Amino acid sequence: MEFVARPIRRFYDLRAEIIQTMAQYGNLRAQTTEHPNGSVTVNVPPLTGTELAVLDEARRAIRGLAARMRSFAYGETIAHWLLSFRYNPHKASDGLFGYSNLFDTYGGEKAAKKEMIEEALRLPKHLL
């Protein structure tokens, strides 16, 4: 029984860590803005060196969470199958990877990745 219970517990711990990390870094100022026509502009005033360092730290943290979720989705077959009735770890990892790539940009694509994460992990809308 523990061979299933332990991975399920790890999933819920990872889910909580994702919520915490995204809340922690959720209000950082972005470097660029994606416009509906597809163009991207650099925000003014430009970010300071400290702001850029924190953005990079956030991007790496979220990408690490994405990798851990991906590892769970492909490595814990039975636990993944049991959780898939409520959650979608594959979709969560895809959303986290995409979100980490767009973390320094405001816009619709970043919002769509965030929504993908919320949906896959069954989080209340706009919790993150």
Residue 115 backbone dihedrals phi, psi, to 5 degrees: -65, -35
State the average pLDDT over residues 54-63.
Answer: 96
Gyration radius from the chain CA atoms: 16
State the average pLDDT over residues 29-54.
Answer: 89
Structurally, the chain folds into a number of domains equal to: 1
**This prediction's pTM:** 0.91
Q: Is residue 127 part of a domain?
A: no
Q: What is the pLDDT of residue 1?
A: 67
Q: What is the pLDDT of residues 112-127, one digit of tens each?
A: 999 999 999 999 887 7
The side-by-side arrangement of strands in the sheet containing 40-42 is: 40-42, 32-34, 105-106
Q: Is residue 128 part of a domain?
A: no
Q: Is residue 126 part of a domain?
A: no
C-beta of residue 40 within 8 angstroms of C-beta of residue 34: yes
Q: Is residue 80 part of a domain?
A: yes
Q: Is residue 52 part of a domain?
A: yes
Q: Is residue 33 part of a domain?
A: yes
Q: Is residue 93 part of a domain?
A: yes
Q: Which domain holds residue 8?
A: 2-120
pLDDT of residue 103 exceeding 80, the answer is yes
